[in-house]
Chains A and B, each alone.
Chain A
């Protein structure tokens, strides 16, 4: 968030910004900026903790904040999120307490998933944020089935299915989009194309003109967006959600972002990213772009900005402190939740 770095400016007039974000646009902007700052601060802190060996693993979403915050703010409490690998900020915006998320990263006794998953795999049922797996793409067909169930029960919700560029090659992308189209379900497919599947660049992931261009293969509309432009993402996501809610069927959005950090703490992108890529990405930093626009329009005075940064820092520190103070899960939780009742295991007859 260096205000001096030359970022690609967001060229919106205040009127256009209001059109994209709705009548409460300045309040939405303020909220969005605060969430982005928190997300960025949390990512930075966690990467530091991982280097110190205090957590085992971390996958940052740095560069994807505009997408995540827009999805969190544009969706309603009726909607459901099936995340890919980097949508934790969506859960936070939708109500997952940061402290609880920190517990899940530390895998401690207060983690609702009892420390069973690697860091960055939170489950947040109250926020309508479904348990994720490390397997690429499997959530896509699940999201489609979930949307079938919503419609079956005549509920208003729309399902947001997130995945990355790499997941477009997966089995479940193919089955999920095909099923969603055949059954005309309320799903918004969000492909957060951060241009790298670990070391494979998007242009080696597929020979298609774009990921959005895959939609017509299923009889769907696909739209490619600048995922670092908060206004565009918010506007298009809102439209897609409205349309799906009104029975307009599924749509595929390709949100083009830049992965500004390694794939995960286990990855070293210097091995494969070409020179200049990181610099290009920095110019497209979604947080810096929004910040520059707000500053240019007198919506983010320096003292306000400093206050937000300090608040984010305090919140993050408190969450980490709470998580580090919590004990590990009790040993007996190891065999819980395999089946509904513990006696349902393979050897029930002997209990």
Chain B
């Protein structure tokens, strides 16, 4: 192991008692994780039925997302990639809003303009997601610099995957964060696969966390299947950020149980035995075992949680599917703050072709 890797691994964050996962909220965390899993499975089948156009599942990453979301505060800013639906749910977005986006209907907060999974919810400070890999990383650092300028007691967290560590914006983002000591948490969910490229062919460094040394701040590896460990790690990073101690890179090691997206067939590039082995450490099963052991949960209560989740998903989906498509005129809105004469002309042409309402 290189010296930097050693430094990254042996980095001791302060063991602050306030960073421990509150025991009373474990069941709540479990419910969110189950809801995310149920939604995930439902969406995969909806895509196969042609009822949604695309879906990028998060199965295997529930503990990482819920743990991180629990550790952040409502005033913090979230810069997601495109799998962070559980983060949005924990922060209070109604499931119905999520389905409005997945379906791309008239009620979608983003007016049906983006592919499924590319959420934007300003009310929970969940910034609009994009498909290009890594671009949110520099943006999160910029928001952190704005926070510094305003002297707000807020942190930002940027979500990205193992593949994004090779992106331009990872390099620029982490470098800027190091130089300006910004209150940023870089949360890398290393799910071991960038579509078909395995983690070890993405980079030759021993861990992704040790890349932080190249930018002069700590990097930590955490078991992303352990919701309490994720919570603690993010919480400590947040405390560092607010104390003015600068950014932290967290590598949450997880495994992508499903395909990269509904357009992907992982059997082409990985053995099913590897997936089965990873499923032995299913984050939901792990948390359930602890809860059962501590007598917080029994089988009957667990069944009820899954049933409730299924009902909730069914209801949200039914509502979203009843909604019409966005109005034709909406295509021309939000290009600029105000409609230009040229866009007005084009809007009228489109209305003439396709019908719809002139606002």
Q: Chain B nearest CB: distance from A126 CB in Å?
A: 34
B214 touching A213, Cβ below 8 Å: yes
B211 touching A207, Cβ below 8 Å: no
Given known A-B contacts A207-B178, A207-B216, A217-B214, A175 and B168 have beta carbons under 8 A apart? yes
Given known A-B contacts A181-B204, A182-B204, A208-B214, A216 and B2 have beta carbons under 8 A apart? yes
B179 touching A205, Cβ below 8 Å: yes
What is the total number of residues of chain A having a CB less than 8 Å from a CB of chain B?
A: 22
B213 touching A169, Cβ below 8 Å: no
B215 touching A207, Cβ below 8 Å: yes
* A residues 115-152 in Cβ contact with B at 8 Å: none
Please indicate the chain A residues that have their CB under 8 angstroms from the CB of B246 in the complex: 207
Please indicate the chain B residues that have their CB under 8 angstroms from the CB of A169 in the complex: 171-172, 175
- A218 at interface (Cβ–Cβ under 8 A)? yes
A213 touching B172, Cβ below 8 Å: no
**Partner pick for B170 among A174, A205, A207, A221, CB 8 A cutoff:** A174
Interface size class of B (residues with CB under 8 A): 20 to 34
Q: Chain B nearest CB: distance from A201 CB in Å?
A: 11
- B201 at interface (Cβ–Cβ under 8 A)? yes
* A residues 175-189 in Cβ contact with B at 8 Å: 175, 178, 181-182
**Partner pick for B178 among A178, A181, A208, CB 8 A cutoff:** A208
Tell me, in angstroms, the Cα distance from A315 to B205 when the chains sit together: 49
Q: B202-225: contact bitstring with A at CB < 8 Å (1 yes, 0 no)?
A: 111110001101111100000000
**Partner pick for B217 among A204, A207, A216, CB 8 A cutoff:** A207
Tell me, in angstroms, the Cα distance from A39 to B214 when the chains sit together: 34
- A241 at interface (Cβ–Cβ under 8 A)? no
- A214 at interface (Cβ–Cβ under 8 A)? yes
- B166 at interface (Cβ–Cβ under 8 A)? yes
- A333 at interface (Cβ–Cβ under 8 A)? no
Q: Chain B nearest CB: distance from A219 CB in Å?
A: 3
Closest chain A residue, CB of each to CB of B201 = A182
Please indicate the chain B residues that have their CB under 8 angstroms from the CB of A178 in the complex: 166, 203-204
Tell me, in angstroms, the Cα distance from A219 to B166 when the chains sit together: 13
Given known A-B contacts A217-B205, A218-B203, A220-B204, A174 and B216 have beta carbons under 8 A apart? no
Closest chain B residue, CB of each to CB of A250 = B204
B206 touching A214, Cβ below 8 Å: no
Q: Chain B nearest CB: distance from A221 CB in Å?
A: 8
**Partner pick for B181 among A174, A175, A207, CB 8 A cutoff:** A207
* B residues 160-219 in Cβ contact with A at 8 Å: 166, 168, 170-172, 175, 178-179, 181, 201-206, 210-211, 213-217
A209 touching B204, Cβ below 8 Å: no
- A234 at interface (Cβ–Cβ under 8 A)? no
Please indicate the chain A residues that have their CB under 8 angstroms from the CB of B211 in the complex: 217
Tell me, in angstroms, the Cα distance from A205 to B176 when the chains sit together: 8
- B299 at interface (Cβ–Cβ under 8 A)? no
- A50 at interface (Cβ–Cβ under 8 A)? no
Closest chain A residue, CB of each to CB of B168 = A171
Closest chain B residue, CB of each to CB of A171 = B168
- B3 at interface (Cβ–Cβ under 8 A)? yes
Closest chain B residue, CB of each to CB of A179 = B166
Given known A-B contacts A171-B172, A182-B204, A206 and B210 have beta carbons under 8 A apart? no
The 3 closest A-B pairs by CB, nearest first: A207-B216, A219-B204, A207-B178
| Chain A contact residues, CB within 8 Å of chain B | 169, 171, 173-175, 178, 181-182, 204-209, 213-214, 216-221
21 of the cross-chain contacts (CB-CB < 8 Å) are: A169-B171, A169-B172, A169-B175, A175-B166, A175-B168, A178-B203, A182-B201, A206-B215, A207-B179, A207-B215, A207-B216, A207-B217, A208-B213, A209-B216, A214-B214, A216-B2, A216-B4, A216-B205, A217-B4, A218-B204, A220-B204
